[in-house]
Amino acid sequence: MRKTILVYGLAMAGLLALLKFFEYRYFVKDFTLELYLGIVAVLFTGLGIWAGLRLTRPKVVRVNPDFRLNQAELERRGISRREYEVLELIAQGLSNQEIAERLFVSPNTVKTHSSNLFMKLDVRRRTEAVKKAQELQLLP
């Protein structure tokens, strides 16, 4: 969001600098204020559409076709099927609430599964859990 505001601010400053550079006061005699306002409106509408398309672009998820789940490591660490599902959703960047809604469980259940995962993977944070799971070939 800050980037969008910065882009708009810089665009507005650039447009004002450009108008000042050409000493728009001399052109006002030839053109009406409505024309200038229309040009500015068209420019910012175009900038808004461009920024909106960039910000709402779907994220590309890279999938490794050569990935093979290390089932032996999964069993050795004692990670249950449900805990593995939670781990996959954590890797997708979902919050506890979003994971709970996807799995039809309470957020406290997700927290319990996450806590168990952290203990079994010997990590403290979600990002560490994903990284360790990738190193152990539990996630692509």
Domain of residue 89, CATH code:
1.10.10.10
Domain count, the chain: 2
Do 76 and 47 fall within a single domain?
A: no
For residues 99 and 90, is the Cβ–Cβ distance under 8 A? Answer: yes
Closest CA to 79 of 47, 35, 123: 123
Do 94 and 42 fall within a single domain?
A: no
Using CB atoms within 10 A of its CB, is residue 83 exposed (0-12), middle (13-18) or buried (19+)?
buried
Per-residue pLDDT of the chain (140 residues; tens, 9 = 90+): 677 777 888 888 887 777 777 665 666 556 667 777 788 888 888 888 888 888 787 766 666 677 787 788 888 888 888 888 998 899 888 889 999 998 899 999 999 989 998 998 888 988 888 888 888 888 88
Domain contains 140? no
| Phi, psi values for residue 111, rounded to 5° | -60, -40
Using CB atoms within 10 A of its CB, is residue 110 exposed (0-12), middle (13-18) or buried (19+)?
buried
Q: Report the predicted TM-score, pTM, of the whole model to 2 decimal places.
A: 0.55
Q: Which pLDDT value is given to residue 26?
A: 64
* Domain interval for residue 9: 2-55
